[in-house]
Amino acid sequence: MADIKVGDTIPEGTFKYIPWSEALEDNLVCGAPIEISTSEWKGKKVVLFSVPGAFTPTCHTNHLPPYLEKYDQFKAKGVDTIAVLAANDPFVMSGWARFEGLKDKIIALSDNGAQWSKKLGLDKDLTANGLGIRTSRYALILEDNVVKYVGIETERGVTVSGADAVLAHL
């Protein structure tokens, strides 16, 4: 059960990611991970959505692509930052971001071991499926790090955490 709810301030967290650069257009370049803290989102409107895993079927084909397709709509509603979060390492997240063509539009964050998601009550044990501890499938709208919307998927598929649902709540 999720511990986070509308009106809560998110817990502090630090994520690793590889920022997009033109050098990453070369598939042999890996980039260097840097850190971003949730404190950098103070004073901003952030859409953060979480997937159980990069390159996994639902995440790869149904969850992430609509966010990229509707990027301009998110920006038109005043969103400063769009981020996708998963328990994968930053190199996998960067590879997925490059494959999907995110460039600098959506940042792909690594929540190693789902540690931050666990603080929200949104981690998921997929060990029986060979995937270990992962992030649940969810979406948050944050304004100045205060939760304005929480969409947590309780069944397979993408509904309340999808781009259309989030756009409807902005």
Residue for token digits 């190199």? 91
> What's the half-sphere exposure (Cβ side, CA atoms, 13 Å) at 69?
9
pLDDT at 73 over 80: yes
pLDDT value of residue 1: 57
Task: List, for residues 77-93, the tens digit of each pLDDT value.
Answer: 999 999 999 999 999 99
Which residues sit opposite 81 in a β-bridge?
46
Q: Note the pTM of the prediction, 2 decimals.
A: 0.91
Supply the mean pLDDT for the chain: 91
Active-site annotation, residues: 59
- Average pLDDT rounded to a whole number, residues 33-48: 97
pLDDT value of residue 132: 61
Query: Which residues does 89 contact at the CB level (< 8 Å), separation at least 6?
Result: 16, 110, 112
Task: List, for residues 124-168, the tens digit of each pLDDT value.
Answer: 877 677 666 778 889 999 999 999 999 998 888 898 999 999 999
pLDDT value of residue 67: 97
Domains of the chain: residue spans and CATH: 14-168 (3.40.30.10)
Which residues sit opposite 31 in a β-bridge?
none
